[in-house]
DNA sequence: CAGTTAATTGTATAATTGACATTTAATTGT
DNA sequence: ACAATTAAATGTCAATTATACAATTAACTG
């Protein structure tokens, strides 16, 4: 058994773009990098792919270490391979983006990494090509959320329609008509009205809704057109 | 300057899923592999990423070697990183899919690789995880072509509406209503009617159309809804 | 109990989609 | 010359969906 000689081997990293929603703004989970190069600078959470590890596996491991969470929504975003993206040594990075319920996040587990939720509008400079990764992830989020019901992954199990609308408005940085918005989301048949109300943010209170899990799984990949043409906004 | 020690370096390959359309069927350009392992078996065209080469660059290089073509439509599909996808040595692969006008393909340049166009419906067994790559590329093509005008990349500069319809029907393996189809594509404003006709395939002849390049560039990323919900077909 | 706030619900119009048939241009055979 | 044939091009109606816009209701506050 010969091996592929004369070919260059490279480091393979995973970087995670982790989105959260605090009820007002879209946020990103970033850390202060703990090792050289760029030690102490803001960075995405990442790590190297291990010898017997696939990409999904590696991404899940990294996400778990940082957030303590498993089974969260995650998808491969893009593989970044610019030869000089890491000044130290040729390193390619497979970026994953994840959507998590910010309330389920356990801060204590990640003290070690000095992780922080930062609003997308107030991001500091990030190392390497991480800003590009974030921009691309945000574009993908907008693209995908226009067609598929993925934003529910950012909300707790019980949520109100006004909360959902604030989320959509944060993602697209625009405002939607209340009446048309609720009609649209209700018409998907994905929501189940609860009997209790959320009472913190208004006098009248807004009814909670939950996802109909069966229909959600079934329609997750269907084309639902939540937003007509996200490219035309802004 | 220390390097990242204790981390495994891996081979990084590019594999190209190259689609073409012969007027009837969607085809894939595959080669007989010229080296071990799996020498002589059907394979996607690929190669290793070189030390000073980015992914796009590498993919373009590989595509050029096989087809002689430059400037063709290409996008990153997915990074495949299963630990045992290549039995010889840990190799990750960044897959690109490309759409080319099959008529512009220069066969002579690739004699060396024994390349062949094979209908998607008659694909032989492919090495490694290449079949999975093809399946994923086909899914992406269907997904994307439902929303964006990418299928024009498979046609020559001048084409007729019936030809375009046959292409869409091949991609979605279904039939569309002639009247509604032409109304839909013409309503995009992307097509410019020519004065001459294609006369080979009918007595009356069908008018040629060309893409309005300005509008095509402008609307390439817009949501145009060519196919309502590709998931619901089949 | 009046005033305030935000949730909920409704309606009319325009635009788009989907189903369906007829007319037209050009060739072929008589 | 003309009838037959073939596939292209075009038109209409009903149903659905999108958009713009306003009134009502529940629950708290003073």
pLDDT in tens, A35-76: 788 888 999 999 999 999 999 999 999 999 999 899 999 999
Q: Is the pLDDT of residue A205 over 60?
A: yes
- Gap between the Cα atoms of A146 and A168, Å rounded: 9
Q: How far is CA A61 from CA A49, A55, A83, A114, in A?
A: 10, 10, 26, 18
- Gap between the Cα atoms of A216 and A149, Å rounded: 8
Confidence of residue B34 (pLDDT cuts 50, 70, 90): confident
Nearest chain A residue to B54 by CA distance is A82
Alpha helix segments (H runs only) across chain B? 55-67, 130-147, 161-172, 178-187, 213-219
Give which of B163, B193, B182 is closest to B226, Cα–Cα: B182
Confidence of residue A232 (pLDDT cuts 50, 70, 90): low
Among chain A, residues having any CB pair with chain B shorter than 8 Å are 1-4, 7-12, 36, 48-55, 76, 78-79, 81-83, 88-92, 94, 146-147, 221-223, 228-232
Nucleotide whose C1' lies closest to the alpha carbon of residue B202: D7
Which of A23-37, A134-148, B100-114, B119-133 has the weakest average pLDDT?
B100-114
* pTM score, whole prediction: 0.94
Q: Tell me, what's the pLDDT at A3?
A: 65
Residue corresponding to tokens 């009205």: A193
Q: Which residues on chain A are in Cβ contact (under 8 Å) with B82?
A: 54
Alpha helix segments (H runs only) across B27-95? 55-67
Check CB contact under 8 Å for A10 and B7.
no
Q: How far is CA A89 from CA A43, A69, A86, B172, B176, in A?
A: 17, 31, 6, 44, 53
User: Which DSSP category does B49 fall into?
Assistant: P
Confidence of residue B36 (pLDDT cuts 50, 70, 90): confident
Give which of B26, B100, B21, B23 is closest to B66, Cα–Cα: B100
Give which of B17, B33, B22, B137 is closest to B67, Cα–Cα: B17
Q: Is the pLDDT of residue B112 over 80?
A: no
Q: A71-126: per-residue pLDDT in tens? A: 999 999 999 999 999 999 999 999 999 999 998 887 665 667 889 999 999 999 99
Confidence of residue B155 (pLDDT cuts 50, 70, 90): very high
Are the C-beta atoms of residues A96 and A75 closer than 8 Å to each other? yes
Alpha helix segments (H runs only) across chain A? 55-67, 130-147, 161-172, 178-187, 213-219
Q: Is the pLDDT of residue B31 over 50?
A: yes
Mean pLDDT of chain A: 93
Check CB contact under 8 Å for A229 and B221.
no
Are the C-beta atoms of residues A27 and A119 closer than 8 Å to each other? yes
Q: Tell me, what's the pLDDT at B232?
A: 65
Q: How many CA atoms lie within 13 A of B116 on its CB side?
A: 12
Q: Tell me, what's the pLDDT at B108?
A: 63
- Gap between the Cα atoms of A172 and A146, Å rounded: 9
- Helix A161-172 with A130-147: angle, nearest 10 deg: 130
Mean pLDDT of chain B: 93
Q: Is the pLDDT of residue B110 over 70?
A: no
Q: Tell me, what's the pLDDT at A1?
A: 47
Paired sense of beta strands B206-211 and B191-198, if any: antiparallel
Check CB contact under 8 Å for A10 and B8.
no
Instruction: For chain B, give the percent of residues with pLDDT over 70.
Output: 95
């Amino acid at each position: 058994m010969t091996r592929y000689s004369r070919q260059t081997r490279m480091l393979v990293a995973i970087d995670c773009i982790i989105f959260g929603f605090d009820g007002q703004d879209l946020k990103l989970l970033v850390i202060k990098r703990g090792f050289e190069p760029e030690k102490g600078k803001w960075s995405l959470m990442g790590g190297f792919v291990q010898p017997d590890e696939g990409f999904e596996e590696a991404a899940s491991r990294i996400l778990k270490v940082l957030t303590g969470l498993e089974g969260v929504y995650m998808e491969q975003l893009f593989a970044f391979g610019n030869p000089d993206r890491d000044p130290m040594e040729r390193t390619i990075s497979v970026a994953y983006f994840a959507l998590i319920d910010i309330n389920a996040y356990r801060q204590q587990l990640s003290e070690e990494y000095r992780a922080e939720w930062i609003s997308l509008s107030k991001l500091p400079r990030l190392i390497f090509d991480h800003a590009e990764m974030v921009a691309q992830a945000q574009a993908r989020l907008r693209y995908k959320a226009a067609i598929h019901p993925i934003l529910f992954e950012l909300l707790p199990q019980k949520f109100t329609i006004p909360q959902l609308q604030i989320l959509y408005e944060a993602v697209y940085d625009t405002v939607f008509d209340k009446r048309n918005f609720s009609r649209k989301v209700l018409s998907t048949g994905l929501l189940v009205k609860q009997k209790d109300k959320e009472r913190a943010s208004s006098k009248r209170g807004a009814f909670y809704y939950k996802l109909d899990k069966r229909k959600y799984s079934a329609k997750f990949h269907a084309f639902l057109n939540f937003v007509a043409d996200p490219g035309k906004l802004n």
